[in-house]
A and B are shown apart, each in its own frame.
Chain A
Amino acid sequence: MDHVQIAEKVDEAAVFAWLKTYISNVLGMDQASIKGSDGLDSLGLDSALTTALAMDLETWLGVEIPLAILFEAETLDNIATGVAREAERQHATAG
């Protein structure tokens, strides 16, 4: 199994790396073939799988992610940006 890269600080790059690992594992895809410009739908994640991804992402980050970020974003890059921003915002308010 591929190794998961987790950065010290959860930034866009770390979220993107997590998304790539998770999606490649769930769909049995080559991790290198997943690009930031890919959308969840075009990769083959329907709403059921996207919701599962959201739940595991929330557990990993320890913060609640509004599903709209995942469902409304066009690309993985957009998702990584939105999720990292949300995580930072929630950590700031909590701290």
Chain B
Amino acid sequence: MLNRGDQIAHQMFQQAQLPGQPRQKVIDSPHLHKMQRMHFFLFDVLPILGTACAIVLLFFHPITTVDLTLFFVFWMLSGLGISIGYHRLFTHRSFKASAPVRAALGIFGSMAGQGGVISWTAMHRRHHELGDQEGDLHSPNLHGSGFSGKIKGFIHAHFTWMVAHPYPNVVHYAPDLLKDRVMIWVNRHYYTWIILGLLIPTVIGGLVSQSWMGALTGFLWGGMVRMFIVEQGIFALNSLCHLIGRRRFVTDDQSTNISWLAPFIFGESWHHNHHAFPGSASFGLAWYRIDPGYWVIRLLALFGQAWDIKVPTKEQIERREIRSA
């Protein structure tokens, strides 16, 4: 069945009597690249500088329980917003959720500063469409062979691809989100959510400690450092989880599982499992693999806030496994 965007395009082609010329799915434009460079500096470079400041400050001012709590809470909220919301719900539709949960996950995910939910979804769907082939926005495997090619690929996939990149056609890649009024609203206020994600820990830090220093360290730990940590985790999926680690299924891409990373990025580093079963809400695919994102989805289900949670059966998993001849 054609999606809504395709229906429009299809109808327009027919009426214009154009030969079935393919729809344009990505665009490179100086105007967009300028916006991307600005976004990269504000939300990818500044958190690195902020984290460096936080570390230097430790020599003069010991970290407080309030700072650590703010870091932990905002790391969890924005990280789960990306993993459960942006990734497992909005991009892959691996479960269904109530409107308040959709809004909350979209808002928390926005606070991570990785782009608006509609852009993120469209780009990630393209990544799955073209996994590690020409056109994949952030593959580490398209930069030549040998060690230097891998290093170049790592730097591109982990960080520099975001400086300027082709931008996807959201009507093509995310027509379902465009029909969801709640998500349109969340997406429209992307920058507000980022600012709130920085302002709230700053205000709490200041109020609890009754000091300007507390506001500063609240901003650094609850804002900059947690943004840096969530980003490095997600960037590692694009870089490390397509370079090193283990494979157990037959997939078209070069994705891998890295078990030791899983507790630090909400179970996302079972990335190869995810490429084999993109529609699965569980990335661990077994109860004994650490997958906090999936555990929280089950917790939401317990309270009736998530349902239709998709997970492949044991047989479905087994028949995809690599068999040595």
> CB within 8 Å of B: which residues of A?
1, 3-4, 6, 18, 21-22, 25-28, 44, 46-49, 51-56, 58-60, 62, 66-68, 71
Contact = CB atoms under 8 A, between A and B. Distances in A.
Contact of A46 (B11, B24, B188): B188
B323 interface: no
B246 to A, nearest CB: 36
A17 to B, nearest CB: 11
Contacts of B21: 59, 62
A42 to B, nearest CB: 12
Given A1-B7, A25-B4, A48 B12 contact: no
Contacts of A55: 23-27, 169, 172
A95 to B, nearest CB: 18
Contacts of B119: 48
Contact of B8 (A22, A54, A58): A22
Contacts, number: 85
A56 B24 contact: yes
Given A48-B119, A59-B9, A3 B170 contact: no
B15 A3 contact: yes
A68 B33 CA distance: 12
Nearest to A70: B31
A82 to B, nearest CB: 14
Contacts of A18: 12
Given A4-B11, A4-B12, A52 B172 contact: yes
Contact of B16 (A6, A28, A46, A49): A6
Nearest to A51: B167
